[in-house]
Amino acid sequence: MKQFFTYALTPLLAIGLLAPAANAQQFTKRKQYNSVGVTLTAMNYFGDITPKPSIPSLRFGATRPNLGVTITHRFTPIISGRAGLSYGRITGSDAKSADQNDSDAKYRYNRNMNFRNDIAELSVVGIVDLIPNRNNYIKRPDFVPYVFGGVAGYAGNPKGENASGTFVALQPLKTEGKSYNKAGIAIPFGAGARYKLNKSFDLGFEVGFRKTFNDYLDDVSTNYTDDANLTSDAAKYFGRGITKSRTGEFTGFDGAGIKRGESKDDDWYVQAGFTLNYILAPRVKSPKFR
């Protein structure tokens, strides 16, 4: 994942550093404008409860919707800033993603973990258009590909479904004997393209990755803890070792230290979908005559 993160951001950073040179021509304030938008995207994640615990392994059947709103300000012919607020869900299930016949995935099939996490995100990103618009918003290009990157704060609450079908908040259970934060900082980056529908509306498609610094979006990271540390029935259901049957009955515990997840990588989430932006026409000041 670290290599993916490096390779994905390098072109974006290079474009951002070269952008000022491409904007030598004066871009007056009267050509700047704001837009507001709504987003409808498909949301998924990369982590421990996927077919393979690595990028780009994900299960499309675990995809859930994400809704958001944005406000964007055009600063120069190619650079804009965008703030966004979104809400969506990521999910995962060993029963549906782990192959019991795959030697590398069998321990995850036996683990029989599942989760869902509803994530609210507030982001601020810089957008670099690959086709400049040196005119006002009315004469903007019909089709513009772009790249973006920035910073985001997110908050979630991982939950797991027990044998009775009830979803239980997992973070308070300390299923691995550790405390972790349900909120954190993420690095959003990606690419997209927008199409000019008419004078006031743009329709876009965007794919954005979120690199988090948290391996517990799915409540799975390292090893099982000692059975004595699991003080509640709920904690025991999710925190016991591979001897937990797939029907929810317990047959014992093999001891602490059994592998529960891949601790070497943090979790990611990804959004891909459509944006509809409405341009707020800037005020045109009437000339003053003396």
Q: Please give the full DSSP string across 68-121, using - where no structure is assigned.
A: EEEEEEE-SSSEEEEEEEEEEEEEEEHHHH--TT-TTTHHHHHH--EEEEEEEE
Q: Is residue 94 part of a domain?
A: yes
CA atoms within 13 A on the CB side of 95: 13
pTM of the model: 0.84
* Angle, CA of 190, 86 and 29, to the nearest 5°: 70
286 in a domain, yes or no? Answer: no
How many domains are there within the chain?
1
Domain-located, residue 186: yes
Alpha helices in the chain (DSSP H): 2-22, 94-97, 106-111, 233-239
Q: Which two tokens stand for residue 205?
A: 């498609």
Mean pLDDT over the full length of the chain = 85
Determine, yes or no, domain membership for 290: no
Would you say residue 38 has pLDDT above 80?
yes
Looking at residue 258, its pLDDT comes to: 77
Q: For residue range 178-231, what is the model confidence (pLDDT) as tens digits?
A: 899 999 999 999 999 999 999 999 999 999 999 999 999 999 998 888 877 887
Whether residue 56 has pLDDT greater than 70:
yes
Confidence tier at 164 by pLDDT (50, 70, 90): confident
- Report the CATH number that the domain containing residue 140 is assigned in CATH: 2.40.160.20
Cis peptide before 56 (omega within 30 of 0): yes
- Terminal alpha carbon distance of the chain: 65
For residue 287, is it within any domain? Answer: no
Q: Does any domain span residue 289?
A: no
pLDDT of residue 126: 97
Question: Across residues 36-62, what is the average pLDDT?
Answer: 90
* Residue length of the chain: 290
Nearest to 92 by CA among 123, 64, 65, 66: 64
Residue 84's φ and ψ, nearest 5 degrees, are -140, 150
User: In sequence order, what are the beta bridge partners of 116?
Assistant: 91, 159
105-130 tens-digit pLDDT: 777 877 888 999 999 999 999 999 99
Cα-only R_g, the chain: 23
The domain of 238 spans 2-280
37 with 43: CB under 8 angstroms? no
**Any domain includes 73:** yes
pLDDT of 157: 97
pLDDT bucket at 21, cuts 50 / 70 / 90: very low
Is 168 inside any structural domain? yes
